[in-house]
Amino acid sequence: MKLTVNRTDVWTATIEDRAGGAAQKLEPLATAGASFEFVFARRTPEQPGMGIVFVWPVKGAKVIRAAQEAGFAKSGNIHWLRIEGADKPGLGAKIARALADAGINFRGISATALGRKFVSHLALDSAEDREKAVGALKKLP
């Protein structure tokens, strides 16, 4: 089970928790030509009435400028990995076990399978944990 593990930079913005809150932040980036592989938005219970949106990649001068003008910034406290490979039964559990055995308490994980492939996004608290995760994931049989 060969996995491809890549470090990525996630960009985040605060959104209003209302109909259209995410659209208001994403539309300027779309107009600038952004093509995201990952978009995730959620409410922030610690800030009632607000939410957060995560996107990546943010690349190209026009898209970066639009992102900054819309209130997005590259996250300095979320260290992200993109994991890709052939989808197999139990793979999510194997990934979780490899991280646990390496002493890594991840911040968040998402995964999806399409056909015979899967893609997972892993959020970690530190650059050190991200590097430990890369090593642990590359050792999976």
Q: Which CATH superfamily is domain 77-138 in?
A: ACT domain (3.30.70.260)
pLDDT value of residue 1: 61
107 contacts 66 by C-beta, under 8 angstroms:
no
> Any idea where the domains of the chain sit in the sequence?
10-74, 77-138
pLDDT value of residue 2: 86
**Cα–Cα distance for residue pair 111/83, rounded to 1 Å:** 9
Percent of the chain with pLDDT over 70: 99
Please write the tens of the pLDDT for every residue from 83-136. 999 999 999 999 999 999 999 999 999 999 999 999 999 999 999 999 999 999
* CATH architecture, domain 10-74: 2-Layer Sandwich (3.30)
Among 31, 1, 2, 7, residue whose Cα is nearest residue 127 = 7
Percent of the chain with pLDDT over 90: 95
Question: Three-state DSSP class for 11?
Answer: strand
Would the CATH topology of 10-74 be identical to that of 77-138?
Answer: yes
Is pLDDT of 141 > 90? Answer: no
